[in-house]
Amino acid sequence: MGYRVGIDVGGTFTDLVMVRPDGSVLIDKTPTTLTNQAEGVLDGIGQLAAREGLSPAEFLGRTDAIVHGTTTADNTMIEMRGAVTGLLTSEGHRDEIELRRGFKEDIWNPALAPPEPICRRRQRIGVPERLDYEGNVIVPLDEDAVRQACARFKRLNLESVAIVFLFSFVNAEHERRAGQIVAAELPGVHISLSHEVMPAAPEFERTSTTLVNAYVGPKIDRYLRGLAGRLRDAGFRNHLLIMQSNGGIMIGGYVARKAVAVLGSGPAGGVTGACEVAARTGIKNFISVDMGGTSYDVCLVRAGRPDVTAGWNWRHRYLIGLPMVDVHSVGAGGGSIARVEAGMLHVGPQSAGSLPGPICYGRGGTEPTVTDANLLLGYLNPDSFCGGAMRLQTVGVQQVVEERLARPLGMTAVQAAAGVARIVNANMANAVRKVSAHRGVDPREYVLVVYGGNGPVHAGMQAEELGISRILVPKLSPTFSALGLLLAPHLVDEMRSYITPMNRVDVGRVDALFAEMEAAARAALEPTGLTGARIRCHRLANLCYPGQTFDIPVSFAGQSGTVTAQSISATIKRFHDAHEALHTYASRDEVPILRGLRVQATGYTRKPRLPRAPRGRSKNARSGARKAYFDGRFVMTPVFDGTRLASPMTIKGPAIIEEPFTTIVVHPGHRASVDEYGNYDIVIP
């Protein structure tokens, strides 16, 4: 066994987790290079190699796997700097992307401006062709019209083309032929076919998903090819693995063809890690929260599994119809900028990022941030930040907070800093409320699993506000998303559309579709070297009641072998039960509609062992004390070195525990215990 490395790119830092051949784990961080994420990735690999006393070439030559979580797709959508994209669609349907579903995604805001178009109207062309809902040809594809469209695309200097024809998910003949013509007429242009990106209804979701794939695809392809090439030149001999938004990993070549699948993939890695760590401590129902430098990500996990949605995933104001781990993000992180507007204090969503970063980083930042406030409140150690790699400067921080925040509000700098902490905590608590309320759960009945470099600083105040009585801070919290990459399995999602009432299902057709999807999924996993029993296929059916717009995925009652009438009936019952659990009612006398079938193929590899904490007395764990702000005043607070804490050590608040890349703030009245894995189990009375 060689080294295994997980690398997660955040808005401020790139997190690294390395599992050595002996199973021990090392974590590290390096500043994110936003202009080219590959630079930060390679810098991080160089740091890990140096830690092992190896050159980068020697280290990569001994590395079995590199799993990467990238924000390239999200950054492309945030900055709106994707490819110049065109749409080829059925005649009369080129305005689908603007008509949407007849409303904007925020139905309570009629003044909401439409999103910036990723494909302008002059770049959308309809061509004569038509299939019916069963895939029968009504109007043959006009190939000359496709060539004329290509001539116009060429004049517009398009870099990418999305092809979306009606009912192509039933019969892909027209889309496939149009793709061949575009490839011949416009060599080098990136092509996205809707039946490959999202082979399912509804039409708007398929159009939106395919257009986003076309828009981000070229940049993702260039980035992954460039990074894989540089790693290969530096001595890496295996496939670069990429995290997907469905919670699994796959080789870079597969992901590049379905680039939309990496939108929002970064937070999915953290959720995967949270499920693994929580399971080992016996926690099944929890809310995972990740506070980094830029964002705060929330996910509800029930019975050990995160919610995965398909069909209603808004990302950067565009709808993505593919399965995605349901993570809600808000602009609240250590780099979130505080400001006074109209006499009121606001925090975020704007972030100082890694460059220039907060004022205390000493890199030219001039705007007060959450991290600056935490420094003034005594929560952070200025002499040991980011594993000792950075020293926070205190000079100038208080002056800027006083000038920009305190004076306009008529308060002291410390009061303003405390206000910043309260507001960012309220913003994050509201995000938790939104996620839990939408799922009909009471957060007070759940555990808060907290990670990210900044999460453990704020978790205690959030838990009190939400009424949550237990917090779990994983030992590897500061690089938890990177750890999740190494814990995630290989995952391939295959979808096929089949629309019919469940009492009219053709079991032979269902059998054939499942067999087709399982074969396609195994073929996609073949380059990973996983075969046989190391691959498990899970069958799902998407069902809804008549008249409903969106369906619910339920586990199919026959997971192997031939589909029978009994398995159809059992699947219907599962749908009724799932609908009742989600919406509090079920219409059991109605026959649900089958909207589509899905196979999720999981390829399992050996997971790294999580480190265990030493047992016995925690020798020399108390490293000192400093003044920290609690309940409106500064209190002399004991400080503990987290690397010296043993299980089952218990610490009563107020206290501060310093880990190499994060700080755990234990508030007065709270009690933190170290479990056998070194995690911090915090109880709030």
CB of 40 within 8 A of CB of 32?
Answer: yes
For the chain, which residues make up each domain, given as ranges?
3-76+221-262, 82-202, 267-332+424-486, 336-422, 491-603, 626-672
CA separation, residue 156 to residues 84, 85, 119, 274, 656 (Å) = 9, 10, 12, 47, 59
pLDDT, residue 453, reads: 84
* pLDDT tens for each residue of 365-390: 899 999 999 999 999 999 877 766 67
The whole-angstrom separation of Cα 377 and Cα 420 is 11
pLDDT, residue 630, reads: 96
The whole-angstrom separation of Cα 463 and Cα 209 is 37
Which CATH code for domain 82-202?
3.40.50
pLDDT, residue 557, reads: 92
What percent helix, strand, coil does the chain show, rounded to 5? 35, 30, 35
The whole-angstrom separation of Cα 71 and Cα 76 is 8
Report which residue type is found at 367. Answer: E
pLDDT, residue 311, reads: 66
The CATH number of domain 267-332+424-486 is 3.30.1490.20: no
3-state secondary structure 369-424: EHHHHHHHCCCCCCCCECCCCECCCCCCHHHHHHHHHHHHHCCCHHHHHHHHHHHH
The CATH architecture annotation of domain 491-603 reads 2-Layer Sandwich (3.30)
The whole-angstrom separation of Cα 32 and Cα 653 is 34
Measured between its terminal Cα atoms, the distance across the chain in Å is 46
pLDDT, residue 387, reads: 64
Report which residue type is found at 190. Answer: H
CB of 17 within 8 A of CB of 482?
Answer: yes
The whole-angstrom separation of Cα 368 and Cα 404 is 8
Element (H, E) at 626: strand 622-630
Nearest to 669 by CA among 646, 685, 656, 681: 685
DSSP H helical ranges for 140-198: 143-155, 173-185, 194-197
pLDDT, residue 109, reads: 82
What letter would DSSP give residue 72?
H
> Is 614 exposed, middle or buried (CB count within 10 Å of its CB: 0-12, 13-18, 19+)?
middle
CB of 215 within 8 A of CB of 83?
Answer: yes
Peptide bond before 349: cis, by omega within 30 degrees of 0? Answer: yes
Q: Please indicate whether the domains covering 82-202 and 267-332+424-486 agree at the CATH topology level.
A: no
CB of 84 within 8 A of CB of 191?
Answer: no
Q: What CATH homologous superfamily does 3-76+221-262 map to?
A: ATPase, nucleotide binding domain (3.30.420.40)
Residues in the chain with pLDDT values less than 50: none
Widest CA span in the chain = 80
Give me the residues paired with residue 305 across strands. Answer: 302
DSSP H helical ranges for 86-202: 96-99, 143-155, 173-185, 194-197
Q: Where are any strands of DSSP class E within 70-136?
A: 85-90, 124-127, 130-131
pLDDT, residue 221, reads: 93
Element (H, E) at 459: helix 455-466
